[in-house]
Amino acid sequence: MAAQLGFRCCGCAESFFAEGQPEQGLVADTPFQVAGSAGKEEKRITAAELLVDSAKNAVLAVQSYAELCGRTLVNMVVGPHYLQDTLEQMDFIGAGSMPIILLAGFFIGAVMVLQTGSQFIRFGQTSLTGDVVAIALVRELGPAFTGLLVTGRCATGIASELGSMLVTEQVDAMRAMGTDPNRKLVVPRVLASLLMLPLLTAIMDFIGLLGGCVASVFSLRLSAIEFWRRAIEALDFADLMQGFTKPVIFGFILATIGCYKGLTVRGGTQGVGRATTQAAVLGSVLIIVADAFLTKLALFLADKVF
């Protein structure tokens, strides 16, 4: 019996150790890996999925921007209006942009005279320099350069200011107090841009003609009286309408782009820097694209209406 008991005990022990020993192929490779569980395969993202996600994000961004523009237009008509904030933004956009407008406008007009005058000398038609400079500045160069310069200065400032307010939760505090951030932050900046851009464009045109006059007198030996007479006679009502309609659209674009990028900042202070750069780039590109379509529309209306 003892032998049988001992045999059975040894058999039980052998069976116990045999059952307790893990089977080959189920041993954990690492201490934290569960034995017998297969590793999960990582999901691979294809190029097509990346393109689809990028397209969806772009469509969502356009939708959000269109919603902000629509809400802004409605709030511009329906009160309340923050007059003090609008005056402060007019000072920031208008008076603050005067130095770069004056400096850039003078040398743009001078460069135009130097470039066109060198060609007119070959044909003996230097008197046409005033006509060409006036039409080019009023129709195209004045509004386009004004929009680009103000975008580089003001759209970036708007994006950084609103982005900093969003990161520091000041926008959330406005909502908690019952103030609409669109009425308080966006509408004054858009109104200031709509009012200031045409005035800055008029200053750019005048200073550009002044720079062209100086260059023509000293470089082409033209009379200043003849230059101004030809420049004024070359312009008609259609040119003025085209030159002062574009800045209104450009002002709306740069203000709304700056506000949109500022109010959609993600990622803290680094996100504020990215939003500032994106506001400058996107605003400039949209102004150039809009300029092409507005020029075509203005030329069509000039033949049909004016």
Q: Is residue 42 part of a domain?
A: no
Whether this prediction's pTM lies above 0.85 is answered by no
> Mean pLDDT over all residues of the chain?
83
Task: Spell out the residues 6+ positions from residue 200 whose beta carbon is closer than 8 angstroms to its own.
Answer: 94, 97, 98, 101, 146, 150, 247
**For 149-177, b where at least 16 C-beta lie within 10 A, e where not — what string?**
bbbbbbbbbbbbbbbebbbeeebeebeee
Q: pLDDT per residue over 7-24, tens digit each?
A: 444 444 444 444 444 444
Q: Is residue 268 part of a domain?
A: yes
Q: Is residue 187 part of a domain?
A: yes
- Number of folded domains in the chain? 1
Q: Is residue 17 part of a domain?
A: no
Q: Is residue 149 part of a domain?
A: yes
Structural domain of 212: 123-299
Q: Is residue 134 part of a domain?
A: yes
Q: Is residue 271 part of a domain?
A: yes
Long-range contacts of 297-306 (CB under 8 A, 24+ apart): 298/238, 298/241, 298/242, 298/245, 298/246, 299/242, 301/238, 302/238, 302/241, 302/242, 306/236, 306/237, 306/238, 306/241
CA distance 196 to 251: 8
Q: pLDDT per residue over 170-204, tens digit each?
A: 888 888 888 888 888 999 999 999 999 999 999 99
Q: pLDDT per residue over 226-276, tens digit each?
A: 889 988 988 888 888 888 999 999 999 999 999 999 888 887 778 888 889
Q: pLDDT per residue over 37-79, tens digit each?
A: 444 556 777 877 788 888 888 888 889 999 999 999 998 888 7
Q: Is residue 192 part of a domain?
A: yes
Please report how many Cα atoms fall inside a 13 Å half-sphere around the Cα of residue 256, on the Cβ side: 21
